[in-house]
A and B are shown apart, each in its own frame.
Chain A
Amino acid sequence: MMHIDTEALDASLQHLRKAPYETDLARALHRVVTSVNRVFGYDGAGIMLIDEEEDLLYVAASDEAGRSLEQAQARAGQGPCYDTYVVGHPVSTKDVRSDSRWPQLVDVLDERVRAVAGVPILLGGSPVGTLNVYRSEPYGWDDSDIAALRAYAGLIGELMAAALASHEHSVTASQLQYALDYRVVIERAIGYLMAKHGVDAVSAFNRLRKQARDSRRRVADLAGEILEESTS
C-alpha cells in the first residue's frame, strides 16, 4: 500500500518544474555508483546496460579497475554480470579468479578485481542491465550485502524509468530505451533456444549473440526471426 499524498506531490512537482534544472541520466547514475561505493566501502561499483550487440557496457563506473570487468567479460564472452543479466537474479562470487564458472575471465581481468557481486536492474519486470560491485580481496557476500544492492538496483530502476518517461534525450537514455524495447523478444528467443537445444539460459544467450555476430545482424533482429520461424 502506498502512503503518498498525491495532491501535495502534484503541487510540489509543479513548483519544482518551474526551475530549469538540468537532467543528465549518465551523471545521475554516476552519482549513484559513487554513493554505493562510498556507503558500503567496496573497492569499486558500476552500472552496465545492454547494447545492440547484447554486450554489457558501463554507463557509470567508479574506477578503472572495475571498468576492466566490462572489457574482460566482453572478451571472454562470460562473467558474473552476464549471468546476472541473463538469469535476472543476483550472482556473486567470493573470488572470480578461482571460480570455475568463468575460467576464461582469469587471463583478461584486472588482478585487483577479486570478489564480485551483481544484481539485475529491472524495468517493467525485465532486466535491462546490472549493478555490480567488487572487492580487491576474496570476500563472502552475505544476505545483507545482496539485500542492500537489490534495494539500490530498485532505486536505479525508478530513476531510469522516470528519465525515460520524461523523454530525456541522451546517449544513456537511448541505450536504455533500446534495452527496454527489445528485452522481451530476446528473452523469448532465449527461452526458445533453451528448449530446442536443451541448454541453460546463459548458453542460449551466448549462442544467440554468436549467431548474430557471425551473420552481422542485431541480436534483437535475429531473436525476432527465430521466434517467427518457430511459429511458422
Chain B
Amino acid sequence: MANDRDIGDNVPPVPGPRPGPSSDGGLAAAAGPRVSLAAGRLSRALHSMALISQADGAALMLAGEASGLRAVGGSTAEGLKLQYAQQFERVGPAHDSVSDGQPVAVNDLESHEEAGYARLARSAAPVRAVLSVPVHVEGDVIGSLNFYRCTPYTWTSRQIAVGEHLAGTAADLLIRLAADSAAGGPGRP
C-alpha cells in the first residue's frame, strides 16, 4: 500500500490518519454511527466515480472552518495519501482548482514546474497524474474532487467533462450527508 512506501530520507513523512476515531478502515466504526454511515456512502461513491472516470482512483478534499482544505477520503489508500500530501504540503492541483474555480489537470507531478510540486510528488508517490475539479454548491466552492493515476497520463477533455459532472453529483451527495448527520434518529443503513 502507498502508506507503507519509503518516500525518501529528505522528505518528512506526510501525516496520515491519527489512531482512534479519526482513522479510516476498521476504525471508522469508532466514530459516531451517522458519520460511519456517511463514510460508507462516500467511500462507495468514490469507488463508482473512479470507475466512471476510468482513473486509478478518486479522492476528496473539503474546506474546513479556517484550516483550508482537508483530506477527507479516497477510493484507495493512494488517494487518501495524495490528499494528506496536498493538505500538509499546502500545494497541489486541489488547492489550485479551488482558488481558480476550475479544473486543473496535471499530467505528471514529478515534472510539473510549479513551486512545491517536486516535494508533493515525493510525498504523494506513487500517484503521478492528477485531475482536480472544484466542487460547487450554489456558487460556493466547498472542496475539490481529485482523480488520479499512478503513471504519467494526459487527461482528455472528455475526462475533464466527466470530472465536472461527477463533482456536481458529489456536491448533491455531500449536502445530503451533511443534512443526514444533523438529523435525529438512528439513520438508515
Chain A residues at the B interface, C-beta cutoff of 8 Å: 1-17, 19, 21-23, 28, 31-32, 35, 38-39, 124, 147-148, 151-152, 154-155, 158-159, 161-168
Contact = CB atoms under 8 A, between A and B. Distances in A.
A162 B41 contact: yes
Contacts of B158: 39
Q: How large is the interface on B (under 10, 10 to 19, 20 to 34, 35 or more residues)?
A: 35 or more
A7 B21 contact: yes
Contact of A11 (B27, B36, B65, B143): B65
Nearest to A148: B52
Interface string B15-56: 001100111111110011001111111111101110110000
Contacts of B180: 162, 165-166
B127 to A, nearest CB: 13
Contacts, number: 186
Nearest to B77: A3
Contacts of B172: 28, 31-32, 159
Given A3-B75, A23-B175, A167-B183, 17 more contacts: A2-B43, A6-B35, A8-B71, A9-B38, A10-B31, A11-B64, A14-B178, A16-B137, A16-B142, A21-B138, A39-B52, A39-B161, A158-B41, A159-B169, A163-B176, A164-B188, A167-B179
Q: Is the interface of B mostly helix, strand, loop or mixed?
A: helix
A-B pairs with lowest CB-CB distance, top 3: A7-B22, A35-B165, A12-B62
B168 A3 contact: no
A170 to B, nearest CB: 12
A144 to B, nearest CB: 9
A119 B43 CA distance: 21
B174 A6 contact: no
A31 B168 contact: yes
A27 to B, nearest CB: 9
A127 B169 CA distance: 21
A32 B175 CA distance: 15
Interface string B147-189: 0000000000010011001101100111111111111000111
Given A3-B79, A12-B143, A162 B177 contact: yes
A7 B51 CA distance: 26
B23 A21 contact: no
B74 interface: yes
A12 B63 contact: yes
A13 B177 contact: yes
Contact of B32 (A5, A10, A31, A151): A10
A13 B181 contact: yes
B2 to A, nearest CB: 10
B43 A3 contact: yes
B156 to A, nearest CB: 12
Contact of B176 (A5, A9, A23): A23
8 contacts: A12-B70, A14-B181, A15-B63, A16-B62, A38-B165, A154-B45, A165-B37, A165-B183
A157 B157 CA distance: 27
B23 to A, nearest CB: 7
Contacts of A4: 24, 28, 39, 42-43, 72-73, 80
